[in-house]
Amino acid sequence: MRNQCHRNAVLPPIGVDRVPLTVDPTSTLLGLMRASSPTSSTIQRSFDASYENLWTIGGQPSSSALGKFEEIKEAYKGKQIVMFLDYDGTLSPIVADPDKAFITTQMRETVRDVAKHFPTAIVTGRCISKVYEFVKLSELYYAGSHGMDIKGPEEGHTAYTKGGKSLLCQPAKEFLPIIDEVHKILLEKTKSIEGAKVEDNKFCLSVHYRCVEENKWIEVAEHVKSVLKGYPKLRLSQGRMVLEIRPCIKWDKGNALEFLLESLGYGNNSDDVFPVYIGDDRTDEDAFTVLRQRS
């Protein structure tokens, strides 16, 4: 079991990955940024064929679940379904301004109905407070900051929790001062780049360049790269039109999924549970890998 969090407690400091941070050369990083743009012909072709081609999860091919509903129905018979949902691009559309990624009333009611029948969690790169501001459903579990900030349903909605206890898991708490410091530096360095946005997700940072002119992307990449050189305890990853800055700890959305399943009483690859995870970005693959390992 990879997770180390406990209910009603903050996780003791996790050992930092001491491998020095290696950021792609600016040209390579710029190439990744271009590849994640919806205007990229290669990516667009990939999107168009996404439901027909095989996906790769954890290095292994996996076909789309959209054509496997009968098999899925057979697989979950007699088991407790637990739902895990990404937010951006899954519950809400991808929009130019991340502060306006609103969930529709219909989607909110759908999630509310699902949560009446199954334990339901939102697992996102955003901070919990921002996602809750969008979703406004107190009966859900929330795993923000790519799983580094987990809390259970509010009082009165803990029926699904093992032992009826509230949940709290913050494995990167010791990094808060560093994250805050880097956030302030990047705000200052990118303020002259029109369209650039540095989002504080509490335990991680997101540098959005969706609204930045493409000829300015290299400037965004250079600023991020230069700042992170001074912070070897932080690492850089690539999302959809966003650069993600996270602590160098062995914790991701996969760990968050494991922690939540264990908290619900379904640890150690329990045969009594059927976890369902819906997500559309690279960081969701960590959760997909865990589900594959659980078979």
187: CATH: 3.30.70.1020
Number of domains in the chain: 2
40 pLDDT above the threshold of 50: no
Residues 117, 159 within the same domain = yes
Percent of the chain's residues with pLDDT above 70: 74
pLDDT band at residue 76, thresholds of 50, 70 and 90? confident
Identify whether residues 266 and 166 lie together within a single domain. Answer: yes
Q: What is the pLDDT of residue 156?
A: 62
Q: Is 150 domain-assigned?
A: yes
pLDDT band at 282 (very low <50, low <70, confident <90, very high): confident
Same domain, yes or no: 143 and 189: no
Q: Is residue 31 part of a domain?
A: no
Q: Of the given ranges (16-30, 40-54, 120-134), which has the lowest mean pLDDT?
A: 40-54
Q: Does residue 226 share a domain with residue 89?
A: no
pLDDT at residue 44 in the model: 35
Q: Are residues 162 and 193 in the same domain?
A: no
Q: For the chain, what is the mean pLDDT?
A: 81
Mean pLDDT of 149-175: 76
Position 100 pLDDT exceeds 90: yes
Structure tokens belonging to residue 106: 């219909």
Q: What is the pLDDT of residue 68?
A: 80
- Could you tell me if residue 120 is inside a domain? yes
Q: Is the pLDDT of residue 73 over 70?
A: yes
- CATH number, domain of 278, equals 3.40.50.1000
Model pLDDT, residue 3: 45
Q: Report which DSSP code applies to 88.
A: B
- pTM (2 d.p.): 0.78
Instruction: Verify that 267 and 136 share a domain, yes or no.
Output: yes
Q: What is the mean pLDDT of residues 206-220?
A: 95
For the chain, the C-alpha Rg in angstroms (whole number) is 19
Same domain, 93 and 239: no
CA distance 234 to 256: 19
Does 12 score more than 70 pLDDT?
no
Paired with 205 in beta bridges are 200, 245
Tell me: do 88 and 160 sit in the same domain.
Answer: yes
The verdict on residue 111 lying in a domain is yes
Give the integer Cα–Cα distance in Å for 24 and 143.
29
| In contact, 121 and 143? CB cutoff 8 Å | yes
Is residue 55 a contact partner of residue 61, using CB atoms and an 8 Å limit? yes
Structural domain harbouring 81 = 68-171+251-294
Task: Determine the Cα–Cα distance for residues 129 and 146; give it in Å rounded to an integer.
Answer: 14
Based on the domain organization, do 192 and 276 belong to the same domain?
Answer: no
Domain co-membership, 265 together with 188 = no
Q: What are the pLDDT digits (tens) for 217-275?
A: 999 999 999 999 999 999 999 888 899 999 999 999 999 999 999 999 898 767 899 99
Q: Which residue has the tokens 């390992």?
A: 293
Same domain, 274 and 290: yes
| Residue 63 binned pLDDT confidence (cut-offs 50, 70, 90) | low
Residue 152 within any structural domain of the chain: yes
pLDDT of residue 269: 66
Q: Place 6 in a pLDDT band, splitting at 50, 70 and 90.
A: very low
- Residue at 25 is within a domain: no
